[in-house]
Chains A and B, each alone.
Chain A
Amino acid sequence: MTSPGAVAPIVRMTGIAKRFGDCQAIADASLEVAAGEIHALVGENGAGKSTLMRILAGLFPPDAGTVEVSGHDVTGWSAAEAIRASVGMVHQHFMLVPPLTITENVILGREPRRGLSIDMPRAHREVAAAADRNGFRMNVRACVRDLSVGEQQRVEILKTLVRGARILILDEPTAVLSPPEVQELWRVLRALRADGGTIILITHKLDEVTEISDMITVMRAGRTVARFPTAGASPASIARAMVGRDVALMTEAPVPQPPAAPRAAAGGLEVRHLVVAGERRARAVDDVSFTVAPGEIFGIAGVEGNGQSALIEAIVGLRRATSGEIRLGDRDITARSVRERDALGLAHIPEDRHRRGLVLDFSIADNLILGRQREYDRRGSLDRARVLADARAAIERADIRPSDPELPARALSGGNQQKIVIARALARDTAALVAAQPTRGVDVGAIEQIHARLRAARDAGTAILLVSAELSEVLALSDRVAVMYGGRIVSIVPRAQASQETLGPLMTGAA
């Protein structure tokens, strides 16, 4: 409760709940933001931060709870009303229309008119003036698709400012910025605060929280769990509030010992001077080289968006490399197809199981043979009996529940779905395994089982390339650890020398 004489919070959200389809995104969240402060909303992926702010911005109503802005109850208002009430949001994935110019993107929805048409000269003038006023250098006639990421973000911020935003919400704004661009963003935010504006910053980067914010609210699994001033808070205390007991689970695992006698099997995965193009950049993977020996887990840590996806797709065969070499054992597989690589013993756990890992409408048994379906041909037909028998064995071994092989994969929880993907990847003697985000969206119990299977595969001699955005997972599993930043491998160290403190700065490019 606020004490008498104190100013009421400019934003107050209480008892918010929201569900989408089968997923409870927010169970019970609240937020209090004072006017003129920079307020950090922190939490892990999936904590519900974005959803909470989208409710505030009027994109959809909450299922329960109230939203108050400047003392007025605005629960369930529309985006248009929120904008009129000076609430503006800059989204994590930009809401810009690529073929349109900066001006057109900025005026969309509130176009200046002359008669029946848009007064474009006036629009250009006004947008350019607003840009100058806020210290943004931009050519307002340029097409948005030609802009850099940092420039696009500035356009997003400008969109909110021209609409008179006094409460600005930014969702993971630094995820795609380079360090100098981050400092530029801080400059803008501080200027806005000095001007009397209020800023809510969604982030999971703790160093940023301590650098820029005044107040912190922590969310975990759809609930608000803590609220305290930044002054006096340490990254460790914030992290403890963010993660809860999960951290204990990961760090309790013993530091893996290197295998006593490394198997002499030929094999291993090698990448030499690999360059791969990405969606927006010519060198999403920029001259990367490393080796993964048989019987070791080589973990690549790093924030998403630094080239990991392009690297994985190139190694697995889903994307062609611009230059460089990929070797499996003594074979050059750079030009081979996905099927050929699989036949040679390269297995893949994709990072997005719903998109790349499973055909959700197929049964568990059918998903288990994906990629190997031709091996089950017998006299022209699929040998259903063998498919089912093999499926039952795999289900039992991986403890997949429910265990009926004819159930559609859609019916299973995320963790069990992931177990199908992993069971399929490890079904044969695999020479090398590329495991991308293997426990993303997986419940705690299943995480343990999946980690155990990976370790078992490692002990059996498989070379495992682990790519994970969860540093704790990389540290829990790997024998050697690398950090990927900006498309390059910036460091490779044995596990014993790796820790949050030494790797964290490398992951944000600070070192």
Chain B
Amino acid sequence: MSMVLAFLAQTLRIAVPYLFAAAGGVLAERSGIISLTLEGFMLGGAFSAMLGSYWSGNPWVGVLAGLAGGLALGLVHAVATIRYKADQVVSGIAINLLAVGLTRYFLKLVFDSSSNSPRVPGFSAGTSTTALVSGLLHNPLIPLGLVAVPAVAWLLYRTPFGLRVRAVGEHPEAAATLGVSVKRVRYVAVALSGALAALGGTYLSLDQHQFTDGMSAGRGFIALAAIIFGRWDPMRAALACLFFAAAETLQIQLQAMQAIPGQFVQMIPYVLTIVALVGVVGRAVPPAALGRE
């Protein structure tokens, strides 16, 4: 029984960053702005959180710092794509590279290291089996992460803002004729996506009590894969996140037995995304105005 519990606990811990990023990404994409940026937001959030915790000695300040970092990067993407009409794919890639570059630069500048920061106050409580369960209780970002997606789902489907997001992502002209500011809705959605994805990164750095170069390690893309696999619905995207996290947990536990090469388990989220785009032709349909001006 404790093995199952340990498996679930580890899956949830692995899923938290995906859930945060997917929650944010769904919001931005449903408003019509392509979000290849989740990786960069996550990395930026991880670094900002580490910095905040380092300077204040308080991990909660780290959380706020992480939010601020994500908001800042989100606004950069929003301004570039909404005000300057930059190509959203290119802007996304640029933000990712910018995050990598800036975090590396300041890592070297502040801590004189090209790989990692010193240890900072964080949230987790170790990695042994019993600690996994207690870890769930001690790290407030874990329950926050589990709540992030349902919160976005509520926002999207039950609030006026969410209705406007959905309208703007499908038929912006219709919303405009009714006096809804398409730009304002998108700015808010993208800024929120930055903040949420950054919380995913915040979880990573505060859980490990340090920032490592490139520590987001492609999780932002897995979150994007989950969004597409979940057909742009927050709850389905969350299920995809849990599924990918479970596969990853399985791989870690199987690695000891070396049953399947780790590289193939790594591929699972990405192969599934392609399958979602192809195998269910027409059904993985993005918001109609996604990527358009």
Contact B167 A118 (CB under 8 A): no
Contact A117 B174 (CB under 8 A): no
Q: Given the interface contacts A79-B176, A109-B179, does A118 sit within 8 Å of B158 by beta carbon?
A: yes
Contact B163 A104 (CB under 8 A): yes
Q: Given the interface contacts A78-B179, A83-B178, does A98 sit within 8 Å of B159 by beta carbon?
A: no
Q: Given the interface contacts A97-B170, A98-B170, A99-B170, does A118 sit within 8 Å of B177 by beta carbon?
A: no
Q: Tell me, yes or no, whether A95 is within 8 Å of chain B by CB.
A: yes
Q: Tell me, yes or no, whether B219 is within 8 Å of chain A by CB.
A: no
Q: Tell me, yes or no, whether B265 is within 8 Å of chain A by CB.
A: no
Among residues of B, the one whose C-beta sits closest to the C-beta of A110 is: B178
Q: List chain B residues, Cβ under 8 A from A91.
A: 177
Q: List chain B residues, Cβ under 8 A from A89.
A: 177
Contact B171 A118 (CB under 8 A): no
- Quick one: CB contact mask for A52-92 with B, threshold 8 Å, 1 for yes? 00000101000000000000000000111101000001010
Which of B163, B178, B180 is close to A118, meaning CB atoms less than 8 Å apart? Answer: B163
Contact B180 A109 (CB under 8 A): yes
Which of A95, A107, A116, A120 is close to B174, meaning CB atoms less than 8 Å apart? Answer: A95
- Quick one: CB contact mask for B56-80 with A, threshold 8 Å, 1 for yes? 0000000000000000000000000
Contact A109 B154 (CB under 8 A): no
Q: Which residues 142-178 in B have Cβ within 8 Å of A in the complex?
A: 154, 158-160, 163-164, 166-167, 170-171, 173-178
- Distance to closest chain A CB from B232 (angstroms): 11
- Quick one: CB contact mask for B36-61 with A, threshold 8 Å, 1 for yes? 00000000000000000000000000
Q: How far is the CA of A100 from the CA of B158 in the complex (A)?
A: 13
- Distance to closest chain B CB from A129 (angstroms): 20
Among residues of A, the one whose C-beta sits closest to the C-beta of B288 is: A98
Contact B179 A118 (CB under 8 A): no
Q: Tell me, yes or no, whether A384 is within 8 Å of chain B by CB.
A: no
- Distance to closest chain A CB from B180 (angstroms): 5
Q: List chain B residues, Cβ under 8 A from A141.
A: none
Among residues of A, the one whose C-beta sits closest to the C-beta of B181 is: A80
Q: How far is the CA of A100 from the CA of B288 in the complex (A)?
A: 13
Among residues of B, the one whose C-beta sits closest to the C-beta of A114 is: B158
Q: List chain A residues, Cβ under 8 A from B160.
A: 111, 113, 118
Contact B171 A97 (CB under 8 A): yes
- Distance to closest chain B CB from A146 (angstroms): 15
Contact A108 B180 (CB under 8 A): yes
Chain A interface, number of residues (Cβ within 8 angstroms): 29
- Quick one: CB contact mask for A115-141 with B, threshold 8 Å, 1 for yes? 011101000000000000000000000
Q: List chain B residues, Cβ under 8 A from A80.
A: 179
Which of B159, B173, B178 is close to A108, meaning CB atoms less than 8 Å apart? Answer: B178
- Distance to closest chain B CB from A173 (angstroms): 15
Contact B177 A59 (CB under 8 A): yes
Q: How far is the CA of A473 from the CA of B190 in the complex (A)?
A: 51
Q: How far is the CA of A196 from the CA of B170 in the complex (A)?
A: 36
Among residues of A, the one whose C-beta sits closest to the C-beta of B287 is: A99
Q: Tell me, yes or no, whether A159 is within 8 Å of chain B by CB.
A: yes
- Distance to closest chain B CB from A450 (angstroms): 34
A97, A110, A117, A120 — most chain B CB neighbours (10 Å): A97
Q: List chain B residues, Cβ under 8 A from A99.
A: 166, 170
Q: Given the interface contacts A98-B170, A99-B170, A100-B167, does A117 sit within 8 Å of B179 by beta carbon?
A: no
Q: How far is the CA of A81 from the CA of B181 in the complex (A)?
A: 13
Chain B residues at the A interface, C-beta cutoff of 8 Å: 154, 158-160, 163-164, 166-167, 170-171, 173-180, 288
Known pairs A98-B170, A109-B178, A159-B178; list 19 more (Cβ under 8 Å): A59-B176, A79-B176, A91-B177, A95-B171, A95-B174, A95-B178, A97-B170, A97-B171, A97-B175, A98-B171, A99-B170, A104-B167, A108-B163, A108-B180, A109-B175, A109-B179, A117-B154, A117-B159, A118-B158
Ranked 3 nearest A-B pairs via Cβ:
A80-B179, A95-B174, A109-B178
